[in-house]
Structure formats: C-alpha cells, structure tokens
Copies of this chain bind each other. A is one copy, B any other.
C-alpha cells in the first residue's frame, strides 16, 4: 500500500444531490473530489465553511456563486470561498469537474 499512489480503497465514493457522483481523495490537508454530474443532474444551492477551488474537465455548466453566474467549460477555473452559496447546473450534457476542498470535508472521505 502506497501513501503516494492511491489504491481503489483509498478513495471515497459518494452520491450527492440525488445522482451526482463524487470520487474523493484526501491528502494531509486538502481533498480532491472528482464530481460527475449527469445531464439531468444538478448540484443545488448549498454552502460549506470549506474553501472550494476547481477546474472544469468536460462538458458545459452554469455556475452560480454568490450573486454571480457564468457558463464554464473544460479548462475553466472557479473559486468558491468558504461560506459562499453556490449551485452548478449542466448545460446540454454531463459535466465533470475536479474540486479541491480545504480543509478536508470529513463527510466526503
């Protein structure tokens, strides 16, 4: 077992917001989370004290963060400070994004 190269059992796997799949990996201080939102899925309005930053990997989604909105696509980055409400809505197909949380979200381990 390697601390550097995670094996299948090192990942957290959760289904959130109905049918959004997240595959997570915790480091010592930060947590990666691969989010897969189906075309008819939605990460509805929510907030958490953890900072969240990330990058769109595939698809197109409308990000509502606080009072701002923007359509993002593969390669676009976003920043969600702790405590700021946000929502992610796929547009025209499924979406994959890589999120980072700090500190680690224990419920996503």
Q: A: which residues have CB within 8 A of B?
A: 2-6, 11, 25, 27-30, 32, 34, 51, 53-55, 57, 63, 65-66, 68, 70, 72, 76-82, 84, 98, 100, 102
Contacts and interface: CB of A to CB of B under 8 A. Distances in A.
A60 to B, nearest CB: 14
Given A25-B53, A32-B53, A55-B34, A4 B78 contact: yes
Contact of A2 (B25, B68, B100): B68
A108 to B, nearest CB: 14
B77 A6 contact: yes
Contact of A27 (B4, B53, B66): B53
A53 B24 CA distance: 12
